[in-house]
C-alpha cells in the first residue's frame, strides 16, 4: 500500500513595495533618461557657447580653449556608454572643485603679482583714452554756447548750440560739430527754440537728462564741446598732448613729460603721476611691501600676534568648557536631555544674529551687561576690554560644538579601561589625565586643529562685534581687535585712496601659508597620539 504526500500549497510572494526614490529612478530609466540627458547636455553646451562668445569678444583665448576642451570632455563622458561610467560621477565634483576652489585660488595668486587697485583697474589703452579725455579743460578764451538738448529722427540725443559771440547755430553729436541751417531753425533770445527734424527736450524730461549730458562730448578739432548744465556748453582744449611713438604725455603749458614708469602709471621726473593708471604685473613688489614697508609690516606683525592669541584662546577655552560640560552631562540624572538641549542652543542660532545681539548687550551706555553688573566697563571701546569681549563672545559661540564632539568621544571610550584604573586605585583626576584625555584627544585633536584654522580667519566675530575697533595709537588702518582676515578686508576696500586688491591678495597668501604651516606642524605633532588608540 503506497501513500503520496499531499502537495504543500504555495504561498504567493508579497508584492515588492518600491520607495518613492526607487520609483522615480525606474520612471526615468531608458528612453526618458536619454531624453533628459540630451536636454541637460544641450543646456550645458548652450551656456558654454554663450560664455565662449563673451570670452572671445574679450580676447581671452586661453579661457576659450579651456572652455572648449571642458565642454567636449563633458559631452564625451556622458554620451559614450559604459566606458566612461566612473567619470560620470567624478566630473560634476571636479567641475565644482575647479570653479569654486582652484580658479579663485589661482586668480587670487595672479592678482597678488599685479598692481590691481583704485587707479589701476583699466587696460593701458583705456587709461590713455581716459587721460586724454580728462585732460580737456576750458581755456580763458574758450568759446561759449547756449544749449538746447534735442532728439533727432533716430531718437538720438544731440545738442543744438548757438555761439554766444557770432550767433552761428550748430548741431553737436558724438561724431562732431556741424552747422545748423538757419532756414530750418528758430532762435529766440540766443537759444534754439525749434529746428526742423529735431524734437527739443523741455520740462521734466530735460532734468532727467542731467547725467547723460554731463558725460556728453562733441569732438571738435583739437578738443571737444562739453555741456555745462542744461542750457550752456563750453569748448574744451587739451592740457596734455600724447605722443604715440614715444608713448609719452606732455603738459602743454609747462612742457613737462610723463613716461611709462613700468608700474602702471605715466610719471614725470619729480614723481608726479597721471590718473588713472592701468593694471600691470609688478612681480614680487607687493610681497616686498609687506616685508619692507613699515606702514604695512608693523600693523601686520601686531595683528598677527593678536590673531594667534585670539584663535588659541578661543579653541582652548571652548574645548575646556565643552569637555567639562560633556563630562558633567555624561551621567544619567534627571532632566539630562533638557540640559543638553539648552547648551546646544548657542550653536543652533545663526552666529551673525548672536554677534549683533552681543554687540547691543555689551554697549557702554544702554547695554544690559553693564546695567545688570552695575558697572561702566567699556567692553567695546577700550583696546583690552574689546579683546576680552571678543574672546568671551567667541567662547559662547564655540563651546557647544566641542560639547557635542566631546560628548560623543567620551561615549566611545571603553568603560573597561576606566573600571580597571579605578580597581588599581586611580583617582578621578588620574583617570582623566591618564586615560580619558589621551583617548579623547585621539579623536578630537584634528577637530581642534580645524577649529584653530577656522578661528584664525573668523571674520564675522570681529567685523560684526567691534569692526576691528577701537583705533590704535599709531593711527594705522588696522584697529586694536583686527585679525589678519579683517585687516585684509580693510586693505582691500578702505585703505589709502581707495581699494587695493593686489595688496589684499598678497596678505591672503601670507595668511594661507601661516595657517598651512601651523596646521602641518600641529598634525605632525598630533601623530604621537595615534599610538594610544
Highest mean pLDDT among 13-27, 137-151, 421-435: 137-151
- With cut-offs at 50, 70 and 90, classify the pLDDT of residue 160: very high
The percentage of the chain sitting over the pLDDT mark of 70, rounded to a whole number, equals 92
pLDDT at 221: 85
For residue 341, what pLDDT is reported? 87
Give the chain's mean pLDDT: 87
pLDDT tens track for 209-221: 888 888 899 998 8
Contacts of 363 (CB under 8 A, 6+ apart): 370, 379, 380
Instruction: Tell whether 161 is covered by a domain.
Output: yes
Helices 61-79 and 31-57 meet at what angle, rounded to 10?
Answer: 170
The candidate with the shortest Cα–Cα distance to 168, out of 201, 190, 193, 197, is 190
Residues 87-94 have a mean pLDDT of: 81
Query: Are 474 and 344 found together in one domain?
Result: yes
- pLDDT band of residue 2 (cuts 50, 70, 90) is low
Q: Is the domain of 155 the same as that of 298?
A: no
Give how many domains the chain has, as a whole number: 4
CA distance 314 to 450: 12
Residue 169 reports pLDDT greater than 70:
yes
CATH code for the domain of 77:
1.20.58
> Are both 254 and 375 inside the same structural domain?
no
CATH number, domain containing residue 153: 2.40.430
Q: Is residue 8 part of a domain?
A: no
pTM check: above 0.95: no
pLDDT score of 85:
73
Distance between CA atoms of residues 50 and 48, nearest Å: 5
Look up the CATH number of the domain holding residue 380. Answer: 1.10.3720.10
Whether the Cβ atoms of residue 315 and residue 392 lie closer than 8 Å to each other: no
pLDDT in the model for residue 24: 60
pLDDT at 116: 94
pLDDT at 362: 95
Co-location of 358 and 448 in the same domain: yes
**Predicted confidence band of residue 20 (pLDDT cuts 50, 70, 90):** low
Bin 142: left if φ > 0, else alpha if -120 < ψ < 50, else beta. beta
CA-angle at 330, arms to 329 and 334, nearest 5° = 55
The Cα 441–Cα 123 span in angstroms is: 54
Is the pLDDT reported for residue 529 higher than 70?
no
Residue 530's pLDDT is: 58
Neighbour count for residue 501 (Cβ, 10 Å): 21
Whether 57 and 188 map to the same domain: the answer is no
Helix (H) or strand (E) holding 506: helix 501-526
The pLDDT value recorded for residue 498 is 79
Instruction: Decide if 250 is inside a domain.
Output: yes
Question: Domain range spanning residue 170?
Answer: 137-238
Among positive and negative, which fits the CA dihedral 25, 30, 34, 36? negative
Tell me what the mean pLDDT of segment 515-527 comes to.
85
Q: What number is the average pLDDT over the span 384-400?
A: 96
pLDDT on residue 326:
93
Check whether 186 has a pLDDT greater than 80: yes
Same domain, 173 and 233: yes
- Domain boundary pick from 112, 146, 177: 112
Which stretches of 193-293 are DSSP H helices?
204-208, 210-214, 285-292
Beta strand 223-227 with 232-238 is antiparallel
The reply to whether 386 and 360 lie within a common domain is yes
Question: For 86-109, what is the mean pLDDT?
Answer: 85
Q: pLDDT per residue over 193-202, tens digit each?
A: 899 889 999 8
Q: What is the pLDDT of residue 454?
A: 94
Residue 483 lies in a domain: yes
Residues 167 and 196 in one domain: yes
Query: Which residue did the predictor score with more confidence, 419 or 474?
Result: 419
Q: How many CA atoms lie within 13 A of 65 on its CB side?
A: 4
Residues 6+ apart with CB under 8 A from 139: 237
Q: Are residues 161 and 104 in the same domain?
A: no
Look up residue 15 and give its DSSP letter.
P
Residues in the chain: 533
Whether residues 258 and 233 share a domain: the answer is no
Q: Domain check: are 81 and 155 in the same one?
A: no
Burial class (CB in 10 A: 0-12, 13-18, 19+), 377: middle
Residue 76 within any structural domain of the chain: yes
Q: Is residue 19 part of a domain?
A: no
Does the structure show a pLDDT above 60 at 28?
Answer: no
Domain presence at residue 117: no
- Work out the pLDDT band at 14, boundaries 50, 70, 90: low
The pLDDT of residue 81 is above 80: no
Point out the least confidently predicted range of 10-19, 26-35, 224-233, 390-399.
10-19
3-state secondary structure of 70: helix
- Say whether both 62 and 201 belong to one domain: no
pLDDT bin (cut points 50, 70, 90) of residue 227 is very high
Q: How confident is the model at residue 505 (pLDDT cuts 50, 70, 90)?
A: very high
The answer to whether 123 and 114 are in contact (CB under 8 A) is no
pLDDT exceeds cutoff 90 at 49: yes
Higher pLDDT, 160 or 418: 160
Would residue 467 count as lying in a domain? yes
Rounded Cα distance, 271 and 258, in Å: 10
In the chain, pLDDT over 90 holds for what percent of residues? 50
> For position 272, what pLDDT does the model report?
92
How is residue 367 written as a grid cell? 547695554
Indicate if the pLDDT at residue 324 is higher than 90.
Answer: yes
Dump the DSSP string for 419-468: HHHHHTT--HHHHIIIIIHHHHHHHHHHHHHHHHHHHHT-HHHHHTTTTT
Mean per-residue pLDDT, 338-347:
88
Better-scored residue on pLDDT, 529 or 166: 166
Amino acid at each position: 500500500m503506497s501513500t503520496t504526500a499531499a502537495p504543500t500549497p504555495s504561498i504567493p510572494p508579497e508584492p515588492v513595495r518600491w520607495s518613492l526614490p526607487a520609483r522615480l529612478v525606474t520612471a526615468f530609466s531608458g528612453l526618458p533618461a536619454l531624453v533628459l540627458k540630451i536636454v541637460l547636455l544641450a543646456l550645458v553646451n548652450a551656456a558654454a557657447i554663450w560664455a565662449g562668445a563673451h570670452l572671445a569678444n574679450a580676447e581671452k583665448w586661453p579661457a576659450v580653449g579651456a572652455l572648449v576642451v571642458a565642454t567636449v570632455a563633458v559631452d564625451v563622458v556622458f554620451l559614450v556608454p559604459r566606458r566612461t561610467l566612473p567619470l560620470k560621477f567624478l566630473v560634476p565634483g571636479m567641475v565644482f572643485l575647479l570653479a569654486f576652489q582652484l580658479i579663485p585660488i589661482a586668480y587670487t595668486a595672479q592678482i597678488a603679482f599685479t598692481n590691481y587697485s583704485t587707479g589701476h583697474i583699466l587696460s593701458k589703452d583705456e587709461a590713455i583714452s581716459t587721460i586724454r579725455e580728462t585732460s580737456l579743460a576750458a581755456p580763458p578764451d574758450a568759446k561759449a554756447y547756449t544749449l538746447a538738448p534735442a532728439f533727432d529722427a533716430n531718437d538720438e540725443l544731440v545738442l543744438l548750440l548757438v555761439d554766444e559771440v557770432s550767433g552761428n547755430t550748430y548741431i553737436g553729436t558724438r561724431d562732431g560739430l556741424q552747422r545748423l541751417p538757419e532756414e530750418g531753425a528758430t532762435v529766440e533770445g540766443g537759444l534754439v527754440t525749434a529746428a526742423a527734424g529735431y524734437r527739443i527736450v523741455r520740462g521734466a524730461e530735460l532734468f532727467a537728462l542731467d547725467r547723460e549730458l554731463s558725460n556728453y562730448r562733441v569732438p571738435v578739432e583739437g578738443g571737444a564741446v562739453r555741456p555745462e548744465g542744461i542750457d550752456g556748453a563750453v569748448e574744451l582744449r587739451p592740457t596734455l598732448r600724447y605722443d604715440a611713438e614715444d608713448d609719452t604725455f606732455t603738459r602743454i603749458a609747462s612742457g613737462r613729460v610723463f613716461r611709462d614708469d613700468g608700474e602702471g602709471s605715466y610719471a614725470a621726473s619729480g614723481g608726479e603721476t597721471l590718473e588713472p593708471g592701468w593694471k600691470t604685473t609688478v612681480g614680487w613688489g607687493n610681497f616686498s611691501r609687506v616685508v619692507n614697508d613699515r606702514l604695512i609690516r608693523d600693523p601686520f606683525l601686531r595683528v598677527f600676534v593678536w590673531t594667534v592669541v585670539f584663535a588659541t584662546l578661543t579653541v582652548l577655552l571652548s574645548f575646556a568648557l565643552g569637555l567639562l560640560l560633556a563630562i558633567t552631562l555624561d551621567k544619567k540624572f534627571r532632566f539630562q536631555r533638557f540640559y543638553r538641549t539648552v547648551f546646544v542652543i548657542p550653536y543652533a542660532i545663526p552666529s551673525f544674529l548672536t554677534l549683533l545681539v552681543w554687540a547691543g548687550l555689551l554697549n557702554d551706555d544702554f547695554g544690559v551687561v553693564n546695567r545688570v553688573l552695575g558697572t561702566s566697563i567699556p567692553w567695546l571701546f577700550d583696546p583690552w576690554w574689546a579683546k576680552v569681549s571678543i574672546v568671551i563672545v567667541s567662547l559662547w559661540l564655540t563651546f557647544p560644538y566641542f560639547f557635542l564632539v566631546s560628548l560623543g568621544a567620551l561615549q566611545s571610550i571603553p568603560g573597561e579601561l576606566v573600571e580597571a584604573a579605578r580597581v588599581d586605585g586611580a583617582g578621578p583626576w588620574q583617570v582623566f589625565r591618564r586615560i580619558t584625555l589621551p583617548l579623547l584627544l585621539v579623536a578630537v585633536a584634528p577637530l581642534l586643529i580645524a577649529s584653530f584654522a577656522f578661528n584664525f580667519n573668523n571674520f564675522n566675530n570681529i567685523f560684526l562685534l567691534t569692526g576691528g575697533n577701537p583705533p590704535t595709537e599709531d593711527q594705522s588702518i588696522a584697529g586694536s581687535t583686527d585679525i589678519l582676515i579683517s585687516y585684509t578686508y580693510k586693505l582691500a576696500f578702505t585703505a589709502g585712496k581707495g581699494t587695493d586688491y593686489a595688496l589684499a591678495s598678497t596678505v591672503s597668501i601670507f595668511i594661507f601659508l601661516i595657517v598651512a604651516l601651523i596646521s602641518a606642524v600641529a598634525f605632525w605633532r598630533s601623530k604621537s597620539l595615534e599610538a594610544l588608540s
